[in-house]
Structure 1
Amino acid sequence: MTNAPTQRTLEFTPLTGTGLQTSELQFGTWRFGRVNETGETEIDESRAHALLDAYADAGGRYIDTADVYGGGSCERWIGDWLAERDRERYAIASKIYWQIRDGDPNSRGTNRKNVRDRIDALLDRLDTDYVDVLYIHRWDDQTDARELMKTLDGLVESGRVHYLGASTHRPNAWKVARANEIARANGWEPFTVLQPRYNLVDREIEGDYLAFARQQGLAVCPWSPLGQGFLTGKYDRDADVPADSKVAASRRFRESYLTPENFDVHEELDAVAAAVDATPAQVALAWLCHRDGVTAPIVGARTVEQLHENLAAASIDLSPAQVDRLTAAKAGPYDGL
């Protein structure tokens, strides 16, 4: 039986490139109001507020959301929670991109009409005058980069947004670089925060993407740090996935995560976890915190107990040899990086 490390108060770390300080572990809220495949709401408002309380009690001050989470309920619940607190003590990040109205293609993407409409709506739900970071949730190849950056700069100039970020599913450093060149050439606000998928088994950003972020001095705040739950140890190499499991119906999850190569990585993770007397999830998060170029991973949780477990990862000090062992467990796209 593993004794989880004692959770300490979260510390602040620079949100590279912005002048802001972020909690060393950011809190992701994508499950707030989410209705799963069985029609159940994964996290209702009462539990959402309990999780936010637990995060704040642990010293957490950086909350990550998006305007589509829970169909907008997530932002409303965060806004209600913030109403009882000092807004200035918290950094709030939200995102825009996904289509929100059936039959209206202009309600998707980062065209000027959609961006201006969405920022007003999300600020209203959050009951705040501004967000600290506004991400584009995905890259929109239908919108010209010049139009995008000019529109986003207008939001910064108006005071409704402080900093700009790009949340990505696949490495696209060249698109961010091009957009930032356009912004700087025109005296507009550039992207300063990146939010890619990154964890022990999803290594696609290693190489050019991380090198670009380091060279440009951009913050990197990874999402899916536990590989959609794979790195928590809940799956067994030799056991069949239960027929009623959510992942049993997800071919993409099985093919992406339940692979021999990834289970090999998990064996290394388990070994390091045993050595430091922690859970696999905690060590997977600690590994990210030790990676050069990573600013602050985004952690989520279904329960307060899970959140406490995840936040305790900040207390784990892996040795250089342990970090190297985990890194070498699965090669990234570029050797030596």
Structure 2
Amino acid sequence: MERRAVGRSGLRVSVLGLGTMTWGRDTDEIDAAEQLRDFVDAGGSLVDTAATYGDGDAERLIGSLLGTKVRRDEVVLCTKGGVRGGPSGARADASRGGLLADLDASLERLGTDHVDVFLVACPDPATPLEETVSALRTAVSSGRTRYVGLANHPAWVAARAATLLEGCARDGVGLTALELEYSLLQRGVERDVVPAAASLGLGMLAWSPLGRGVLTGKYRRSLPADSRAASPHLATFVDPYLDDASSAVVEAVATAADGLGRAPLEVALAWLLARDTVASAIVGARTPAQLRTSLAALDLEMPGEVHAALDDVSAPEVGYPERW
């Protein structure tokens, strides 16, 4: 599997990342172990998780597999912190204490002394960005992580965080990665995050590259009983992409797939991986069979006219001030 540099850093990751949002809940230990082994055997390295996935069960499951199914040095571990649970629901907490406590807890669950990438999971308007950046610097300087970044943040925050870290460039700590949703059904990042990442030398990790599963085409005719859209805890996650606008894109992908003799999933991944700023597309397969389908997509190089047609049908609305 191809390895790509994450921005202008020395970190290199596999073009497909293994997402673990369902691990410990919808994906049991047996299926998770098979996925991880298949992924590494195919040349994959990036394993993406978060402190909140399954209330920590995803990290515990990964930790149980490191050293038994794969070696620690075979994978690039990426986890996220900065979300605090409570009686009134989850809330952002990117404070210094919150982030470092999350990272320490993740390391314990993962059974390792460091992760390769630590990301702030979402914006926290209640915490000054300077404090958040200070925590990221400490996370690197203390050896708990090798690289840091942001997930689900707007471009201006990424630019400001990168600037703040540059102010202490003597310690060698810089912003490295941005993880955001990016697919043919969600191209909002192209308005400002993608140009910012290119300018700042940041690598993009794309989550939900298959449009939360919708770009596989499984929802074109019906709602499969075993699908995420039929799941009580994931239905609201999928529902935004079951509208008419998304259906038009899915049909275009299906048409392209028929013409190329490939699966819609393969076309959707090939389109995204042709983006220069994308270091890795993180696929969240629930079963080993689903993961193998994604791994099979890596040899597809789409003709330019097909890529352009998909660009047109999925183009995001862009107006002022992005377009003057």
Q: TM-score, normalised by structure 2?
A: 0.90
Residues 13 and 149 (structure 1 numbering): CA distance in 2 closer, same or farther, change over 3 Å? Answer: same
CA contact (8 A) 2:149 2:176 kept: yes
- Separation of aligned partners in 2, 1:87 and 1:205: 32
2:83 alignment counterpart: 98
Residues 264 and 178 (structure 1 numbering): CA distance in 2 closer, same or farther, change over 3 Å? Answer: same
- Amino acid in structure 2 at the alignment position of 1:145: L
**CA deviation map 1:301-323 (0-9, x unaligned):** 12111111111111111122111
Per-residue deviation, 1:83: 1.9
In the alignment, structure 1 residue 260 sits paired with structure 2 residue 260: no
Residues 306 and 13 (structure 1 numbering): CA distance in 2 closer, same or farther, change over 3 Å? Answer: same
Select 1:58's aligned residue among 30, 35, 42. 42
- Separation of aligned partners in 2, 1:312 and 1:64: 20
CA contact (8 A) 1:17 1:193 kept: no
1:186 alignment counterpart: 168
Select 2:19's aligned residue among 19, 24, 28. 28
CA contact (8 A) 1:27 1:55 kept: yes
In the alignment, structure 1 residue 16 sits paired with structure 2 residue 7: yes
2:122 alignment counterpart: 138
Percent sequence identity over matched residues?
35
- Separation of aligned partners in 1, 2:129 and 2:263: 43
| Structure 1 unaligned regions, length at least 5 | 1-9, 35-41
2:229 alignment counterpart: 247
- Separation of aligned partners in 1, 2:191 and 2:254: 26
1:87 alignment counterpart: 72
Per-residue deviation, 1:163: 0.6
Select 1:288's aligned residue among 272, 283, 287. 272
**CA deviation map 1:267-321 (0-9, x unaligned):** 2111111122111011101110012321111012121111111111111111221
Per-residue deviation, 1:12: 1.4
Residues 76 and 268 (structure 1 numbering): CA distance in 2 closer, same or farther, change over 3 Å? Answer: same
SS at match of 1:165: strand
Matches within 5 A, 1:1-337: 10-34=1-25, 42-84=26-68, 85-102=70-87, 108-168=92-152, 172-187=154-169, 189-236=173-220, 239=221, 241=223, 247=229, 250=235, 253-254=238-239, 256-334=240-318
Q: TM-score, normalised by structure 1?
A: 0.87
SS at match of 2:22: coil
- Amino acid in structure 2 at the alignment position of 1:81: L
Residues 261 and 96 (structure 1 numbering): CA distance in 2 closer, same or farther, change over 3 Å? Answer: same
- Separation of aligned partners in 1, 2:282 and 2:229: 22
- Amino acid in structure 1 at the alignment position of 2:111: D
- Separation of aligned partners in 2, 1:252 and 1:128: 31
| Structure 2 unaligned regions, length at least 5 | none
- Separation of aligned partners in 2, 1:175 and 1:322: 35
Per-residue deviation, 1:17: 2.6
SS at match of 1:138: coil
**Which range is displaced more, 221-230 or 187-196?**
187-196
SS at match of 1:13: strand
- Amino acid in structure 1 at the alignment position of 2:198: R
Counting matched residue pairs gives 315
Per-residue deviation, 1:89: 2.5
The structure that is strand-richer by fraction is: 2
- Separation of aligned partners in 2, 1:244 and 1:23: 29
Superposition CA RMSD, Å: 2.4
